[in-house]
């Protein structure tokens, strides 16, 4: 009877101690375990739990003393068993504390586990995860844990693969910039089977690091690890080539793109492979002839695709095809042909989007909104509402919009997690701001739930996610403006233009209704300008020299326009040509130097400028130029606006497509016609004339400075009123036809 009573007391004390533990009353729990030890001194688990209660109260020395006194009494075999028991107690409590988000306590418990079993890999991985949660992850801590060495040791270890992948994902999300992060990811490679499990973690994280966090070079290092498992994985090669290109590692970008293209088997993959290679060649610059050949091959593949009209296999394939024709206008000024190809691709893609997004598309198709007295809801959709050309230009419409008649909803795709002042400014505009990633279906649903009346696409085919959203048509009226030419997506109703940026016949080959604003399709009040950092003497250019400048990236440079620029230079004595823009330094210098030599121009008269980090400094440094020589068939856009704002004469070659008429409409809307050329011969003539006639340059500069007070190009408030009038007319047209 006495024994039964004692056993009952022991059981009750254990239950009570456990309840105190759950209530976090560790002091009372400790007292009960002391009673249990007095009643059952030979039961070692009571000592493990007593030490645990002391540890949870922060009494680490007392806890360790409790455990060590017991261990000191045992034989080696017993100590080994007791150590395992203690480890299980600590492990159980560590897991419970992690579930309660008591990460500091969990960290302390696992550190004691580490002392017991210093090479227990899963505990070390848990410590890594806790360090990330507690924001105390460092390279020094990683080195001390020895995880990488254990993973690389080649010894058999009892490794929890799911835990390994979980920790890898956390490292890539929260500490990717640490050198130990790459070392850890590298050590993981041989332990993950099947490889797809590794890719599921690695690819999304690399994309985020490359685009949202603006570290494409580091993203490439992470993603390249997967090629050790599958060296010919096309999807990995596609992204990897783009990462290299964005990081300025142009040669690797081209080589990777060529491998990707060579491995492509299906028509959609071959078209995408050609696009990736075009992107690599064009971003590097200087590969004009090769790029033209690849474009010709891509066009043939696209024609074959139109004939086949296949059901595209998956969402990723559809998204890749949306922007596969991006480089058409950079290489050829043939709008009828270009638009036909773009429209057909967009139509095919939209049809497939509505297959995998059928449920959403059907709901959106039934959307009918009647007349209302409340303000119109205008959604602006873009991945460029940040320090980007589109971000700088679109901000004026946000600044001046009529808050009584309109409500503004910005949707920021691939929201950048870096400190970006302009993006921060956009976060405070409008009724509410959506900050998201690149899930097009999810964003479309948000737009639909927000009951947006008119959705403005600022990206066109520069971002596949935007095209996907527009194809689902979550708003009754959809418009493309500013970011590029029209997308050709059938669900887009209007393309905003002006009287000049498209010829009168353009409606014949656009699927969207061209809505021409009365004067200009873009206007700004001006640009912020810093102090210049570039001087002529730094470049060994005489004070009395004539300085020409081309401030365009590699995409826009080609042998035809470069040869005209060299001919101008040859005809203007004491003249120099500055080439500035994102491209491969070696290939661009070789490209221009070869053409200069062929045209009899001393290559010493060519100066290649580095990029400037700040847009403000870039604009200030435009002032070094006497004349800016524009590109063709793809003109400058933001660069032209900046040139005109700085009062610098510009020579542009006007074509038939949208991208070949940007500078033309901007110059007209700034009040000047000098420098507008309709043929290659006129481009040459204007370039020479402006180089030789200092008085004419001065006159143009004066006109441009005067135009700041009068020209439509510099009246963003008036422009915003014209945009809003267009919105109201579009809405009324929708009401009249619903």
Kindly compute the dihedral angle of the four CA atoms of residues 211, 215, 221, 225, in this order, to the nearest 10 degrees.
Answer: -40
Among candidate residues 356, 388, 404, the one where a domain is terminated: 356
Confidence of residue 1 (pLDDT cuts 50, 70, 90): very low
Residues 144-172 have a mean pLDDT of: 93
CA distances from 657 to 195, 288, 653 (A): 46, 20, 12
Q: What distance lies between CA 69 and its chain's CA centroid?
A: 58
> Can you give the three-state secondary structure of 601-636, one letter per residue?
CCHHHEEEECCCCCHHHHHHHHHHCCEEECCCCCCC
Distance CA 655, CA 633 (A): 7
Which are the contacts of 101, defined by CB distance < 8 A and separation ≥ 6?
none
The larger pLDDT score, comparing residue 414 to residue 477, is at 477
User: What's the pLDDT at 2?
Assistant: 45
**Stretch among 57-61, 280-284, 647-651 having the lowest mean pLDDT:** 57-61
Confidence of residue 404 (pLDDT cuts 50, 70, 90): very high
DSSP structure class, residue 660:
G
Among candidate residues 356, 382, 415, the one where a domain is terminated: 356
How many Cβ atoms from other residues are within 10 Å of residue 702's Cβ?
A: 11
Q: 332 with 399, same domain?
A: no
Burial class (CB in 10 A: 0-12, 13-18, 19+), 5: exposed
Q: 478 with 604, same domain?
A: no
In this predicted model, what pLDDT tens digit does every residue of 71-118 receive, in sequence order?
888 888 888 888 888 889 889 989 999 999 999 999 999 998 998 889
Distance CA 252, CA 243 (A): 10
548: left (phi over 0), alpha (psi -120 to 50) or beta: beta
**Is residue 222 domain-resident?**
no
Q: 153 with 71, same domain?
A: yes
The enclosing domain of 628 has a CATH number of 3.40.50.2000
In this predicted model, what pLDDT tens digit does every residue of 172-220 receive, in sequence order?
999 999 999 999 999 999 999 899 999 999 999 999 999 988 899 999 9
Instruction: Please say if the pLDDT value at position 369 is more than 70.
Output: no
- The structure's pTM equals 0.91
In this predicted model, what pLDDT tens digit does every residue of 668-678 receive, in sequence order?
999 999 999 99
**Is residue 18 domain-resident?**
yes
| Mean of pLDDT over the chain | 93
In this predicted model, what pLDDT tens digit does every residue of 544-572 receive, in sequence order?
999 999 999 999 999 999 999 999 999 99
User: What's the pLDDT at 443?
Assistant: 95
Confidence of residue 5 (pLDDT cuts 50, 70, 90): very low
The larger pLDDT score, comparing residue 16 to residue 718, is at 718
Residues 684-698 have a mean pLDDT of: 98
Among candidate residues 294, 323, 356, the one where a domain is terminated: 356
Structural tokens at position 85? 């028991």
CA distances from 380 to 140, 391, 454, 598, 722 (A): 45, 11, 9, 48, 17
Q: 323 with 372, same domain?
A: no
Q: 107 with 75, same domain?
A: yes
**Is residue 235 domain-resident?**
no
Domain enclosing residue 595, as ranges? 537-714
Residues 426-436 have a mean pLDDT of: 91
In this predicted model, what pLDDT tens digit does every residue of 506-522 receive, in sequence order?
999 999 999 999 999 99
In what helix (H) or strand (E) does residue 443 lie, and over which residues does it extend?
Answer: helix 440-449
- Residue 200 has φ and ψ, to the nearest 5°, of -60, -35
User: What's the pLDDT at 8?
Assistant: 60
- Residue 411 has φ and ψ, to the nearest 5°, of -120, 105
Q: 637 with 498, same domain?
A: no
Distance CA 393, CA 692 (A): 33
Instruction: Please say if the pLDDT value at position 374 is more than 50.
Output: yes
């Amino acid at each position: 009877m006495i024994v039964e009573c004692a056993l009952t007391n022991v059981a009750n004390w254990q239950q009570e101690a456990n309840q105190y533990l759950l209530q976090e009353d560790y002091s009372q729990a400790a007292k009960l375990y002391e009673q249990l030890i007095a009643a059952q001194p030979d039961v070692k688990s009571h000592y493990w739990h007593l030490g645990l209660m002391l540890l949870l109260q922060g009494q680490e020395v007392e806890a360790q003393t409790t455990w060590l006194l017991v261990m000191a009494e045992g034989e080696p075999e017993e100590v080994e068993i007791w150590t395992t028991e203690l480890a299980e107690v600590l492990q159980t409590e560590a897991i419970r504390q992690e579930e309660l988000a008591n990460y500091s306590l969990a960290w302390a418990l696992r550190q004691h586990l580490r002392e017991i079993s210093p090479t227990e890999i899963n505990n070390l991985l848990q410590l890594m995860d806790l360090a990330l949660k507690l924001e105390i992850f460092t390279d020094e801590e990683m080195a001390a844990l020895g995880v990488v060495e254990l993973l690389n040791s080649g010894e058999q270890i009892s490794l929890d693969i799911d835990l390994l992948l979980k920790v890898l994902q956390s490292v890539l999300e929260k500490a990717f910039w640490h050198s130990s992060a790459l070392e850890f990811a590298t050590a993981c490679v041989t332990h993950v089977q099947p490889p797809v499990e590794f890719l599921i973690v690695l690819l999304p994280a690399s994309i985020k690091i490359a685009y949202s966090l603006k570290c494409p070079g580091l993203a490439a290092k992470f993603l390249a690890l997967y090629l050790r498992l599958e060296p010919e994985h096309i999807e990995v090669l596609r992204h990897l080539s783009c990462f290299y290109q964005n990081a300025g590692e142009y040669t690797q970008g081209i080589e990777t793109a060529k491998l990707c293209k060579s491995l492509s088997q299906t028509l959609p993959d071959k078209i995408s492979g050609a696009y990736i290679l075009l992107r690599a060649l064009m971003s590097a610059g200087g590969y004009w002839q090769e790029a033209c050949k690849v474009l010709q091959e891509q066009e043939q593949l696209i024609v074959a695709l139109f004939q086949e009209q296949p059901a595209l296999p998956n969402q990723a394939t559809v998204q890749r095809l949306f922007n596969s024709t991006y480089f058409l206008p950079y290489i050829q000024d043939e709008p009828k042909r270009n638009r036909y190809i773009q429209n057909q691709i967009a139509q095919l893609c939209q049809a497939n989007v509505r297959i995998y997004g059928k449920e959403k598309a059907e709901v959106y198709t039934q959307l009918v909104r009647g007349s209302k007295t409340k303000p119109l809801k205008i959604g602006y959709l873009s991945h460029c509402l940040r320090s980007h050309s589109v971000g700088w230009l679109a901000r004026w419409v946000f600044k001046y919009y009529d808050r009584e008649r309109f409500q503004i909803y910005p949707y920021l795709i691939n929201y950048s997690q870096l400190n970006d002042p302009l993006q921060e400014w956009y976060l405070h505009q409008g009724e509410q701001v959506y900050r998201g990633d690149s899930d097009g279906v999810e964003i479309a649903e948000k737009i639909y739930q927000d009951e947006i009346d008119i959705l403005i696409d600022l990206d066109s085919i520069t971002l596949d996610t935007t095209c996907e959203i527009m194809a689902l048509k979550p708003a009754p009226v959809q418009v493309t403006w500013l970011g590029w030419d029209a997308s050709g997506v059938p669900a887009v109703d209007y393309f905003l233009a002006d009287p000049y940026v498209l010829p009168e016949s353009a409606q014949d080959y656009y699927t969207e209704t061209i809505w021409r604003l009365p004067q200009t399709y873009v206007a700004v009040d001006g640009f912020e300008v810093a102090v210049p950092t570039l001087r002529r003497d730094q470049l060994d250019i005489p004070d009395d020299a004539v300085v020409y400048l081309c401030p365009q990236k590699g995409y826009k440079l080609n042998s035809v326009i470069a040869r005209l620029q060299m001919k101008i230079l040859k005809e203007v004595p004491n003249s120099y040509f500055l080439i500035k823009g994102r491209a491969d330094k070696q290939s661009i210098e070789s490209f221009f130097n070869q053409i200069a030599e062929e045209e009899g121009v001393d290559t010493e008269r060519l100066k290649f400028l580095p990029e400037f980090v700040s847009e403000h400094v870039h604009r200030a440094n435009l002032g070094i130029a006497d004349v800016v020589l524009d590109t063709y068939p793809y003109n400058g856009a933001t660069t032209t606006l900046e040139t005109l704002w700085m009062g610098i004469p510009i020579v542009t070659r006007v074509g038939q497509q949208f991208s070949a008429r940007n500078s033309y409409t901007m110059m007209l809307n700034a009040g000047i016609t000098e420098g507008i050329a309709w043929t290659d011969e006129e481009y040459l003539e204007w370039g020479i004339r402006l180089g030789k006639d200092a008085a004419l340059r001065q006159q143009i500069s004066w006109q441009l400075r005067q135009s700041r007070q009068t020209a439509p190009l510099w009246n963003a408030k008036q422009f915003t009123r014209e945009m809003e009038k267009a919105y109201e007319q579009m809405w009324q047209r929708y009401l009249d036809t619903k």
